[in-house]
Amino acid sequence: MKVTVRSHAVAVSACHCSMCRRWSGAAMWVLEAPGDAVEVTGPVQRYRSSSFAERAWCAECGTQLWIKDDDGPYEVSPGLFDGARGLPLSHEIYVDQAFASVVLAGEHKRMTRAEYEASERYVEGEA
Ligand SMILES: [Zn+2]
């Protein structure tokens, strides 16, 4: 499996919703990259996780690869890239759903479930 990202956001973000907690073990970290900037070689397994998005992982080793809204950018796992380690955290969402042990330091933007769902698409019943 090889994932190449030619351009991406200048920061990572984190989500504490229930689907992301289940998928990642706690908080899900993503790095946005435009659809035409991502190139993948190797077997990808995709799961239709909602009416508007998919989640994908490597079919050989199970490593999570991305979340992607049908009409949005890739939200690739920053853990795929050693170079992403130095990126700052831009924001976290569903902070009121986070594990008590997951407290992210810094002055980044934080949104509760209600704040996020007031302006963004979301999966009904998930939190
Ligand atoms: Zn989430």
Averaged pLDDT for residues 2-17 = 97
Q: Where are the strands (E) in 18-99, listed by range?
A: 28-33, 38-41, 44-48, 53-58, 64-69, 74-76, 89-93
Q: How many domains does the chain have?
A: 1
Cα 122 to middle of ligand 1, angstroms: 9
Burial readout 27-49 (b: 16 or more C-beta within 10 A, e: otherwise)? bbbbbbbeeeebebeeebeeeeb
pLDDT digits (tens, 9 = 90+) for 33-87: 999 999 999 999 999 999 999 999 999 999 999 999 999 999 999 999 999 999 9
Residue 46 belongs to domain with CATH number = 3.90.1590.10
The Å distance, Cα 36 to ligand 1 centre, comes to 23
Q: From the CA of 96, how far away is ligand 1's center (Å)?
A: 12
Residues around ion ligand 1, judged by CB within 5 A, are: 15, 17, 20
Tokens read off for 40: 């993948």
CA of 19 to the centre of ligand 1 (A): 6
Residue 125 lies in a domain: no
**pLDDT band at 6, cuts 50/70/90?**
very high
Tell me whether residue 122 is in a domain: no
Of 32, 33, 21, the residue nearest 91 (C-alpha): 32
Q: Percentage of the chain surpassing pLDDT 70?
A: 99
Q: How far is the CA of 127 from the centre of ligand 1 (A)?
A: 8
Structural domain of residue 100, as residue ranges?
2-117
Is 46 domain-assigned? yes
Question: What is each CA distance from 15 to 37, 80, 92, 109, 122, in whole angstroms?
Answer: 23, 17, 6, 12, 12
